[in-house]
Amino acid sequence: MNTQKVKCLIIGSGPAGYTAAIYAGRANLSPLLCEGMQPGGQLTTTTDVENFPGYPDGVAGQSLMDDLRRQAERFGADLQYGTATAADLSAAPYKVTIDESRCVEADTLIIATGATAKYLGLEDEKKYAGMGVSACATCDGFFYRKKVVAVVGGGDTACEEAVYLAGLAAKVYMLVRKPFLRASQIMQERVMKHEKIEILFEHNAVGLYGEDGVEGVHLVKRAGEADETHYDLPIDGFFLAIGHQPNSGIFTPWVETDETGYIITEGNSPRTRVPGVFAAGDVADPHYRQAITAAGSGCKAALEAERYLSAKGLI
């Protein structure tokens, strides 16, 4: 297998990965950044980012990521397309296999692989994948212009997706399993005030139906243990917005994770229990999960990598 040796390997191309690459590049670590399947990460599937400092009028997610990418390139980061498919962190230099076809040996590793959208686990989600089921409103919303859609979830993501879809669709139902939303106050107000959005509290989706694509959702309304109503709601699109799963799978034999799979780091630092291996961004953050906090932790990880290499006499 083709092997490349680097001082610093960064896996992931969200705000954490690119920020780590900017800092590592400026520190002359000649980082290699493996961009993964979705260069730019989750933010490329968002519309406007309104809370990234420095953009008083907001910025398109894709454009923010393009800028971060160019900034990383400017300082000499080697940005490569590819997905990390296996890892061996038993001893330094750490070995990471990319696309099952090439190997990178790295003195330091920054894991910035982010998190992936969760599904409910219904058979019908697979059956109708690409035929009415989506976990990304900004990617697929266009196909539902003037149609009726449902968004599952009651967090900030669900509210954002619902508002975005309401700009295109004729009607948006939010399916919320609890009698309240979990989202921030500002997002709650936006969805509650929106004339095209109807929130169905205490509703669970239990299946989908349709001939050649989604034509409706089987719902259960639960108000207490005994009070259960089953009914069908005609919809054209079914959007999941129920949170994310951290992409830590290939590293779990070595780094410590919590029960969901979020990588546990030391105190307030990005240090994992493997010396020279750091975790940054959503893969290690079950609490904040913001672009700006991810970028901050990417910065910390690169600074830690530089210190580690320097202490080991590797730079």
Pick one of 24, 137, 158, 301: the residue that binds ligand NDP (CB under 6 A): 158
Say if residues 188 and 176 touch (Cβ distance below 8 Å).
no
Q: Is 210 helix (H, G, I), strand (E, B) or coil?
A: coil
Which one of the spans 123-131, 177-185, 208-216, 303-311 is the region binding ligand NDP (CB under 6 A)?
177-185
Is-catalytic flag, 136? yes
From 79-87, 146-154, 213-221, 271-279, give the range in contact with ligand NDP by CB under 6 A: 146-154
Smallest separation, CB 145 to ligand NDP (Å): 23
The first and second tokens of residue 168, run together, are 């295109």
Q: Which of 26, 127, 147, 177 binds ligand NDP (CB under 6 A)?
A: 177
Range in contact with ligand NDP (rule: CB under 6 A) among 22-30, 81-89, 153-161, 250-258:
153-161
Q: Which residue is nearest to ligand NDP (CB)?
A: 155
The C-alpha atoms of residue 126 and residue 260 are separated, in whole angstroms, by: 22
Least Cβ distance, residue 292 to ligand NDP (angstroms)? 10
What is the smallest separation between the CB atom of 157 and ligand NDP, expressed in angstroms?
A: 3
**What sign results for the dihedral spanned by CA atoms 30, 307, 278, 275?**
positive
Known catalytic membership, residue 282 = no
The amino acid at residue 294 is A
* Interface pattern 242-271 for ligand NDP (x via CB under 6 A): xxx---------------------------
Instruction: Kindly give the residue spans of alpha helices, DSSP state H, lying in the chain.
Output: 15-26, 61-74, 123-127, 137-140, 156-166, 185-193, 291-311
Neighbours of 196 (CB within 10 A): 16
Which residue type, as a one-letter code, is found at position 270?
Answer: P
Nearer to ligand NDP, 133 or 242 (CB): 242
According to the binding rule CB under 6 A, does residue 289 interact with ligand NDP?
yes
Binder among 76, 82, 155, 207 for ligand NDP (CB under 6 A): 155
Q: Other C-beta atoms within 10 Å of 258: how many?
A: 12
Stretch that binds ligand NDP, among 13-21, 55-63, 151-159, 251-259 (CB under 6 A): 151-159
Q: Which of 28, 51, 90, 101 forms a contact with ligand NDP (CB under 6 A)?
A: 51
Please report whether residue 196 would count as binding ligand NDP according to CB under 6 A.
no
Chain mean position to CA 190? 23
Is the bond leading into 93 cis (omega within 30 degrees of zero)?
yes
* CB distance 199 to 152 below 8 Å: no
Contact segment (CB under 6 A) with ligand NDP among 69-77, 88-96, 216-224, 240-248 equals 240-248
Q: How far is CA 294 from CA 16, 17, 212, 214, 282, in A?
A: 5, 8, 40, 36, 6
103 part of the active site: no
Of the pair 46, 97, the CB lying nearest ligand NDP is at 46
CB 207 within 8 A of CB 122: yes
Determine whether 183 is exposed, middle or buried from the number of CB atoms within 10 Å of its CB (0-12, 13-18, 19+): buried
Alpha-carbon distances, residue 185 vs 43, 180, 189, 292 (angstroms) = 22, 12, 6, 20
According to CB under 6 A, which one of 12, 114, 153, 270 is a site residue for ligand NDP?
A: 153
DSSP 212: S
Enzyme catalytic residues: 136, 139-140
Q: Which residues of the shown chain bind ligand NDP in the complex (CB under 6 A)? A: 51, 120, 152-158, 160, 177-178, 182, 184, 242-244, 289
